[in-house]
Structure 1
Amino acid sequence: MEKRNTIQKQLVLDAVAQLADHPTADEVYAHIAQKHPTVSKATVYRNLSSLSEDGVLRHVRMPEGADRFDYTLTPHFHIECICCGALCDVCLDENKEISRKVEQMTGYCDVQYDIVFTGVCPACRKHETE
């Protein structure tokens, strides 16, 4: 069954692209609501989920805090600042050997992984030293 491309879905996609900082669902909703106050939070959440399931957006599951959404679909990792919560891309090559080892150890197949590093960003580090 083919999914429809609705105006609301396009608004959500555009918002994630415009925010470009790995926004949370609430941030996407707030961005859209500024210009389109009739769009409900449920509609935004539903479309984020649908776009992620369809592979149009990347759903970044955060170990602590609200999940984020990413417009960049090429394989990459993320790093989150433990002070300010900023989330940035880390462009490292995937290590296929990790997936193979996990498959061998567990019996699972088609193993995928998403790594979120943590640390203190340069801006927060600079602020701490002042």
Structure 2
Amino acid sequence: MRKAGAMTVQRKTIYDILTATDDHPTASDIIERLKAGGHNFAYATVYNTLKYLTEEGLIHELKLEGDASRYDARTENHQHIVCSSCGKVDEVFVEPPTAWLNSISEQTGYEITEEKILFKGVCEGCKNAKSAAH
């Protein structure tokens, strides 16, 4: 029997899918990619693996408004921007201004230990499609 914390073949396979992509897949997307790769993991295995990888700090779960959770293997500090037209998610590597964080801390009395800011906008593809339609 394997230990609960071991990196099993199933966990490694799912982790490899996440590290090979930057499109922030949902659990359903991951299941489709597993099937396309000839794997037939139980849904519970996929969901439990995503929970395990998140708890171990190997991936981040992105909970976006009104959408299924998405998963990101990039664990360094960064933010995300979501296209309000097509739902595409991209990464943003701009640090929030220190003065702004200090102001929030002073105003609320909180010590800020982590920031997760979600930006929304219209991606270039959707902007171009809209321009072409006019």
Q: For the Cα contact (< 8 Å) 1:103–1:111, is it kept in 2? A: no
Partner of 2:102: 97
In structure 2, list runs of 5 or more residues that go unmatched: none
TM-score by length of 2: 0.83
Q: For the Cα contact (< 8 Å) 1:16–1:71, is it kept in 2? A: yes
Partner of 2:32: 30
Using the alignment, how far apart are the partners of 2:106 and 2:70 within structure 1? 28
Is the counterpart of residue 9 in structure 1 residue 11 in structure 2? yes
Equivalent residue for 2:56, pick from 54, 57, 73: 54
Q: CA deviation at 1:17?
A: 1.6
Secondary structure at 2:109 match in 1: helix
Q: Deviations over 1:31-72 (max 9, x none)?
A: 112224421111011101110111000111112211111111
Amino acid at match of 1:114: K
Q: CA deviation at 1:89?
A: 0.3
The residue correspondences of 1:46-125 to structure 2 (distance < 5 A) are: 46-94=48-96, 95=98, 96-97=101-102, 100-101=105-106, 104=109, 111-125=113-127
Using the alignment, how far apart are the partners of 1:91 and 1:101 within structure 2? 25
Q: CA deviation at 1:101?
A: 4.2
Secondary structure at 2:61 match in 1: strand
CA separation of 1:110/1:117 partners in 2, compared to 1, >3 Å: closer, same or farther? closer
Q: Deviations over 1:55-101 (max 9, x none)?
A: 00011111221111111111000000011110000111145436634
Secondary structure at 1:117 match in 2: strand
Q: Give the length in aligned residue pairs.
A: 127
TM-score by length of 1: 0.85
In structure 1, list runs of 5 or more residues that go unmatched: none
